[in-house]
Amino acid sequence: MKRIESFCIDHNKLKEGLYVSRIDGDCVTYDLRMAIPNAGSYLENDGLHTVEHLFATYVRNSEYSSRVVYFGPMGCRTGCYLILRDSVSKEETIRLVQDAFRFIAGFEGEIPGATQIECGNFREHSLERAKGYARKMIQVLAGWTPEKMTYEV
C-alpha cells in the first residue's frame, strides 16, 4: 500500500503550531499541533474532547462556516486537524484559529453538544483542561505567519 502523506513527516522535528498538512483539490488540511510528538506529554482525552466541541462550534458559527469541512482530534493526542476550503487564505486561517482559542480560553457555561443525546462520550469532558490548552496555544500562535505554516524538513 502507498504510505499516506502524514506518515512521511518527520515527527521528531514537529513543534507546536499551525501547519499546512496537505491540499486535496479545493480542501486544505491544517495540522494544529498542540503538543510535541513523542515527547511523553500528550493531550488528555477529556480536555481534547472539549476543545473539539468548542472549536468546532466556534468555527462552524464564524463567517467561514460554509467553508469549514472538518475539525477533529488526532489519534496520537498531539493536536487536531482543521479542513477548510481553499478560499480561506492562510492569514484568515491563522486569525480564525487564534480567535477560536480565545473563545475557548474565555468560555463559560455548558459545553455545546455534551449531553448524552448529542455526544457518544458525554461524560469525558474537562472545560478547565481545554481552557489551559487554549491559553497555551494563544501564546504559541502569537505572531504566527503564513511562512511558519510549512513543515521543517
Q: Are 54 and 114 in contact (CB under 8 A)?
A: no
CA dihedral 71, 74, 78, 82 (to 10 degrees): -20
Q: Are 54 and 104 in contact (CB under 8 A)?
A: yes
Q: Is the pLDDT of residue 100 over 70?
A: yes
CA distance 115 to 121: 9
Residues in the chain: 153
Q: What value does the CA radius of gyration of the chain take, rounded to a whole number of Å?
A: 15
* pLDDT tens-digit readout, 26-62: 999 999 999 999 998 999 999 999 999 999 999 999 9
**Residue 6 three-state SS:** helix
* pLDDT tens-digit readout, 78-97: 999 999 999 999 999 999 99
The pTM for the full model equals 0.94
Residue 7: DSSP 8-state: G
